[in-house]
Amino acid sequence: MIKTDLKSLTLEQLQEEIEGLGEPKFRAKQIFDWIHVKRADSFEQMTNLPASFRQKLSENYTLTQLKTERKLVSRLDGTVKYLYRLPDGEYVETVLMKYQHGNSICVSSQVGCKMGCAFCASTKAGFVRNLSAGEILDQVYQTERDLNIKISHVVMMGIGEPLDNFQNVVTFLRLINSPFGANISLRNISLSTCGLVDQIDELSKLKLGITLSVSLHAGDDRTRDKMMPVNRKYPIAELLAACKRYTDETNRRISFEYALIKGENDSMEDAHRLAHLLRGQLCHVNLIPVNEVKETHFQKSGREHIYRFQKELIKQGINATIRRTLGADISAACGQLRRERNS
């Protein structure tokens, strides 16, 4: 029998579950507090519950817990990268970055990825499975515990395509935002997608107020088709229309990610095309020197070149910044630690 993980349930779901056991509803709130505030590892620790009830809980339920397999700390800027082992022996990566404005964590949402982007390490060995809400959440909890810190910002930019694991990701967002739990503001959460149009529309309807990052990486379908297979299903015009609907619904500007790859998408003509495409869209462009991944032949554009690309966008009225590289000495581009472990 697979036991239900109580860490993956919202308070409302937990209340239903507990009432189903014939226990009073307030017990659910107590358990929720033990899991999400006191961060208990076992039902045994929940000492304000009757012993017989604790016994019943451990017989029928689990509390998902990730274990640290590897931990790398950057000597340059203190960025910490974890390789976490999931209960079934799979691995995901999590990164903690320290900024002036607080501690920001980058979490994974899937083991592997189906999307097949040509430049990305996370997708090279294909897709294994979705993470549960509790497994996404426990990346935050384990990291806070290990470093004895409070995390204020979350980015869903680790391994996996979060909108391809829609339900669990939304449950995770509700859990991390719960006033009875970690209580992280949805304004401090960004979700990055390769551009699943139907799911962007679903997300718009939920009006969660998170920041949507869209991995664009090209301003024309021919180039984007080559780099990102998802573009063949949802071409740029459809994607941008969904982005427009998202900003109309939520009033939140979109952050477009653009990884600059030498000779592929970094000409001044590319910059013009991009500016033209985004004109009138409430947005911001994040330029990233592509991380060079072992299995691909892509090279990053030169620093000067990236500045020129940025200047061109700004000249055309598009807000653009260059992403600072953190943890350059440990990160080896996202997805690579897990690849090493599995090979």
Active-site annotation, residues: 93, 334
Q: Segment near ligand SAH (CB under 6 A), from 20-28, 59-67, 114-122, 145-153?
A: 114-122
Q: What are phi and psi of 279, to 5 degrees?
A: -60, 130
Closest separation in Å from C-beta 45 to ligand SAH: 35
161 vs 270, beta carbon nearer ligand SAH = 161
Whose tokens are 């204020």? That residue is 152
Interface residues for ligand SAH in 156-175 (CB under 6 A)? 157, 161
Distance CA 242, CA 118 (A): 23
Q: Does 194 bind ligand SAH (CB under 6 A)?
A: yes
Alpha-helix residue ranges (DSSP H) falling in 234-300: 236-250, 268-278
Least gap, CB of 227 to ligand SAH (angstroms): 9
For residues 176 and 138, give the distance between their C-alpha atoms in angstroms, rounded to a whole number: 10
273-312 residues near ligand SAH, rule: CB under 6 A: 288, 290-291, 293
Q: How far apart are CA 223 and CA 61, in angstroms?
A: 49
The first and second tokens of residue 323, run together, are 């992403």
120 binds ligand SAH (CB under 6 A): yes
* 200 forms part of the interface with ligand SAH (CB under 6 A): no
Residue 162 burial class via C-beta count within 10 angstroms: exposed 0-12, middle 13-18, buried 19 and up = buried
Please report whether residue 119 would count as binding ligand SAH according to CB under 6 A. Answer: yes
333 is a contact residue toward ligand SAH (CB under 6 A): yes
Q: Which CB atom, from 31 or from 239, has the smaller least distance to ligand SAH? A: 239
Site for ligand SAH in 49-78 (CB under 6 A): none
| 3 state DSSP class of 336 | helix
- Taking the C-alpha atoms of residue 288 and residue 327, their distance in angstroms, rounded to an integer, is 14
Binding interface with ligand SAH (CB under 6 A):
117, 119-120, 157, 161, 192-194, 215, 257, 259, 288, 290-291, 293, 333
